Chains A and B, each alone.
Chain A
Amino acid sequence: MRLSRRALTGYAFVSPALIFLLCFSIGPILFAFYVSFHEWDMLAPVGAMPFRGLENYRYLLTEDPLFFQVLRNTVVYTVAAVAISAVLGLALALLLNRRVRPLAFWRAIYFLPIVTSSIAVSLIWSYLYNTNYGLFDGLLALAGLPQHRFLDSPSEALPSVIGVGIWQSVGYYMVLFLAGLQGIPQEYYDAASVDGATTWRAFLHVTLPLLRPTILFVLVVNTIGALQVFDIIYVMTGGGPVNATYTGVVYIYDTAFKFLRMGRATAMSFLLFAIILVITLAQLRLLRGGFEA
């Protein structure tokens, strides 16, 4: 088959990026899969890594005292952060969409944390949460309320971190919902009010159904993101105290770069990836067929 000059030009334009993706995405993921069946410290030559079959996966799923704790923390973080951010974000978007002005002013304020380095966010919040000299402790003391240890307490650390996650991302949810709301034609609301619908009923029967694609998008994208939380946990708690905030990617990072167990870390990566896939597919299925009123 002879290719036209035009077709060859097409190949020339797309091939650098494709070769790059082969080297830095597709190849590496296949290599990581290979590593997950081996024992490797990344120092030994690739050819010499001992084959361990399913041992890494077996260890994580049956023997590892941390795996299920990590999994639980990751899921709790994700469900709480995404659910609360989504509700607050939608509420804010509704406020700003119609009633509260000027839009750009309020939107900018809620959006500030999105553009802020999460390491800076973590430093600030670690200080705010500090048991001895943080602002929250100071306010609790002023109000005569019992002391909380926040990040230092095994029972309060995860909710505290979730709070930071929500503060950090609620503006992002809000902006996405605002975009969705602005796509709903005013005529629908006019028609609803002619039919005598209350604000609440208009919300239930006009806003929510028409917002469904946005809701689906917001939940799926942010769930995938939250399941990979790393920065704020690594900096604020390092996964502690007593593993109370240890989440998936922090665990993968430690296993690989602290303990040099590449086989186990890659196996963990694929398990976490599988969990992300399952949750995403479940969301797509549930919400597609969802609130058909």
Chain B
Amino acid sequence: MRRRLAVGEVAITAALYLITAVGAVIMLLPFYWMVASSLMTLPEIIARPPVWFPRVPQLHNYADLAAALPIDRIYINSLIVTISVTSLVLFTSSLTGFGFAKYHFPGRDTLFLLVLATMMIPFFLLLIPVFFIVKELGWVDTYLGLIVPNAVTAYGIFLMRQFILGVPDELLDAARIDGSSEFGLYWRIVLPLSGPALAALTILAFLYHWNAFLWPLVVIRSQDLWTIPIGLNNLRLYASSTDTLDLQMAGATIAVVPVLVVFVALQRYFIQGITLSGLKG
């Protein structure tokens, strides 16, 4: 009787592993197909029945992609925009969060509620009016237009304030007695103690803006400013899309693989950051 039970347990466990593995194959297959197709000839890409491995890896697809698109420029643009926005968000969120967490001033709680209220505003409501503001400022088709409207997020302020509430007041007072300026408290005590929250916010902001599509789609006009998602989208629009499938898959591969590598290396922080947020739309 006990033996049969054990065998049943093993069978159930095996079935559970099987289900998990089948699901994992479904998750990975599109990535595999992307990489494999990026190394195929066009006839292989559209072959019937489907071809699973490129006969001879067509590395020149990547050279062709580089000839069709200014890949280095696109990558640099994505880096410039994402790093700028992320740095700004880290700075504004932590400074404002510090102000709300550690200072008493009339109207503070009302103002903080106002910040929380702006967290509820979905992005599509702001698309048209913020675009208009950017247009009036002459920022359409500029880095400023891509970066500045994203410099402050209510969510970041909220996250940092919650975290900084936990910084002991005694630490701040001791530094004041030692003659620290108020900004010095922020810079030398609060920031170094906020590592985990800053890390979570970095990952969220970086990921969000690295992959952002709708705002760049509206603001960017010239190829000089294309970010990676915009470049990928234009790859699709270039020719009748069948002719560029090899390039599309090569483009998708070089857009995706670096992010996946960083993710696998820093998985724990990604999961923590994203679990914390619930921001991924």
Contacts and interface: CB of A to CB of B under 8 A. Distances in A.
Interface stretch (B55-63, B64-72, B150-158, B191-199): B150-158
B20 A28 contact: no
B79 interface: no
Q: Chain B: interface secondary structure?
A: helix
Nearest to A225: B281
Contacts of B152: 17, 20-21, 24
A76 B274 CA distance: 26
Contacts of B267: 104, 107-108, 111
A116 B228 CA distance: 12
A127 B37 contact: yes
Contact of B249 (A14, A118, A124, A169): A124
A157 to B, nearest CB: 16
Interface residues of A, number: 92
Interface of A: 1, 3, 6-14, 16-18, 20-21, 23-29, 31-32, 35, 42, 92, 95-96, 99-100, 104, 106-121, 123-128, 132-133, 135, 138-139, 141-142, 167, 169, 171-172, 175-176, 179, 217, 221, 224-225, 228, 230-231, 234-235, 248-249, 252-253, 256-257, 262, 265-266, 269-270, 272-273, 276
30 contacts: A7-B103, A9-B99, A20-B151, A21-B152, A28-B129, A28-B132, A29-B126, A31-B132, A32-B128, A95-B19, A104-B267, A104-B268, A107-B267, A107-B271, A108-B267, A110-B23, A111-B270, A112-B31, A119-B213, A124-B249, A127-B249, A133-B45, A133-B46, A141-B48, A175-B274, A217-B278, A231-B229, A248-B124, A253-B127, A273-B125
Given A26-B114, A95-B16, A138-B50, 20 more contacts: A3-B106, A7-B105, A7-B106, A11-B105, A13-B98, A20-B152, A24-B126, A25-B126, A100-B16, A104-B267, A108-B264, A110-B23, A110-B27, A116-B211, A116-B256, A117-B228, A120-B251, A127-B249, A228-B122, A269-B124
